[in-house]
Structures are given as C-alpha cells and as structure tokens.
Amino acid sequence: MTKVYKKTSGNGSLCLYLGRRDFVDHVESVDSVDGVLKIDPSGLNGRKVWVQLACAFRYGREDLDVIGVSFRKDIWIKRIQMYPFEGTKPPNTPMQEALLKKAGDQGHPFTFDIPVHLPCSVSLQPAPEDAGKPCGVDYEVKAYIANEEDNIDEKVEKKDTCRLIIRKIQYAPAELAAGPKADINKQFITADKPIHMEVSMEKELYYHGDPIPIKVKVNNETSKVVKKIKINIFQITDVVIYAADKYHKCVLNEEFGDQINANSTFEKEYSVTPLLVNNKEKRGLALDGRLKDEDTNLASSTLLIPDMDKQMQGVVVSYKIKVILMMGGGLLGSLTSSDVTAELPLVLMSPKPAEISDINLE
C-alpha cells in the first residue's frame, strides 16, 4: 500500500495529491513528477489556477527577509495552467490514474519533466540554535489561484496556495568502478632510503552507514618509526550557486596505535564508518535533502554527466579519504619529523531500493 501525500489550500478550493515525494535522478534522465490537482471552481471568482515546480537555493531563514533581500534564489521553475486548462495533456500515468480515484471528478492530472542538469536535494546542517528552514537546494510543487501567471504586482494570498516539498535524489549506480589506489614514496633529508606506503580499496563506492575497508601496506626502509596511523574522511561541499565557496569538513577522524619500526614492513586492513550521528554539531555540513524533521544522512556524492555546467548544480558534494603515517622524530627530534599522507577518492551514496511494482492507493 502506497501513502498518498495531500495538501489543501486554506480556502479549500485546491487540493494537491502526490503518490510519492522522492524522484530519482538516473544521471542520464530524471523521473517525471506526476500528480493530480483537485480544483473546486466555485471558489475561484473568475481567477485562474496554476501548478508550478520550482528548484531553488535557500540562503537562510525567510523570517530574516526584512530589508527586501531575497534569501531564496530560483534555479529553475516551470508552470502549467490547470484551470482553465491550456495546452495538450499527456497520457495519464498509473500513479495519476490511482490518484484520480482519490480526487474524483474535480481532479486534474499534471506532469513535470525535470532537466538532468539540475542539482539533487541537499541541505546544509544548521547550528543547534538556528531556527527555520535550513540552507540548501529544495524542490517545491505549488498550486495557486491568481489572475495572472507571474505578476510581481499581484499578491497571491497564502489561503489561495498549497505546496509540497519533494526530493530529487540519486542512488548508487549498478555498475561500480574499480577501487582506487595510491602509492606514496617519501624521502627524508636525514635518511638514505625512502618510506613507501600503498593504500587501496576494493571499490570506490560505499553505502551510507556501511563500514569502509582500507588496506594499508608500508615498507619502511628508513631509521624512523611510525608512531601511529590516522585515517580522516573529508566532505568537500562546493557551493557554486552564489560564489566559488568550498567547504572541507572532517566527518571522520580515527587514530590507530599500530607502530611500524625502522627497516620493517607492515600490512593491515582498517575499517571505518563515517556517520552523521557523530557530526551533529558541525554547522554547514551537507546532508541529503530532508522532508520536515525526518532523519537523513551525510549528503550523497554528486554524480555529474561529463561537461555538465557546474553552475547549475547549486551544491556539488564529494569525499576523500586521507591515510596519514604519524612519524616519530629523527636525530633532531620533531624538527625533522614529517608525516606521510596518501589520499583516495570516496563515493558515498544510498542503494537503489526495490522497485514498487504495484500501485495501490486504497
């Protein structure tokens, strides 16, 4: 049984129906947004009805908008006139047929096609004291009653609108790339021979919440001692919508007390798991878009079509792993100590859920 999402306008003239609120970006294509709008013409008083889908970047709280500065920037917007209807109607989807049974004779189906170049839903984690809606990219389906489609001089009353937030999300692809590998040779001034570190993973993509195994091999031909090994995972959030801002947030920092003596070899597999629950206090951390206050996770990595315009993406998220050999000092102590660092790319995503084959809105 599938849940129906329903929102009614304050005056009762409009009722918005959606059979789902998550729409999948398959990189090459995006699921169409198919819904039904129930319209009671008796309350329109000669006005018209539109439904729109907007993708916007929210900078901050709307209640701070006291000097006419917009805290919301539309990235993409599409409108359909629903009453009186103009244009040609595509065939109803199975979801719309099921929703029309709920809406009755006053139900009107609508379909939006989301372009592939638009960003996925993402929110930036607010500080504990912050109130209101978080910053980030969101999608909103909104139905409204007005005399004109988009007249800045016409004030559309809140009671004449109804809206539902939806999410555009990406799931992990079925075909996975080979695991990344990094080879580092470090030559110290005070040593004749180098230290060699090889870091690798079986695959590049891991699901949120799953342990990530990292293989570390070290050939230490120096007289120095590796005191411990540190593993960091960084989230890189590239906010390209208003400036070239890049935020590097450490979402995992673990130290392991394995010591590697001089003139010795070492090999071990470490397992680490970056989790949002361990990063709740970090303001500005990118999270997968959320609906109301439901739980979410660290933002999924952004998959881009080659040569895609990053400016249209709003927020681009990526991850990297750093494996660091913490070196002990040489003859001169810490003045000559220098850590050895290798980096690997990481893709964090959610698995694609099992398809819902039967639509049952009873």
Query: What pLDDT was estimated at residue 178?
Result: 85
Residue 349 and residue 27: Cα distance in Å, rounded?
13
What distances in angstroms separate CA 351 from CA 169, 257, 323, one per listed residue? 11, 33, 26
Reported as type and span, the H/E element at residue 94 is helix 94-103
CA torsion sign for 149, 150, 154, 160 is positive
Full set of structural domains in the chain with CATH: 5-170 (2.60.40.840), 181-349 (2.60.40.640)
Give 45's pLDDT tier (boundaries 50, 70, 90).
confident
Residue among 27, 75, 247, 46 nearest 145 (CA): 46
- Give the C-alpha distances (Å, rounded to integers) separating 189 from 184, 220, 313: 16, 15, 45
Burial class (CB in 10 A: 0-12, 13-18, 19+), 223: middle
What's the residue count for the chain? 362
Is the model's pLDDT at 104 over the cut of 60? yes
Q: What is the pLDDT of residues 309-358, one digit of tens each?
A: 665 667 889 999 999 999 876 444 444 457 999 999 999 999 887 654 34
Half-sphere exposure of 208 (CA within 13 A, CB side): 20
Instruction: Quote the mean pLDDT of the chain.
Output: 85
Residue 63 pLDDT class (50, 70, 90 cuts): very low
pTM, whole model, 2 decimals?
0.82
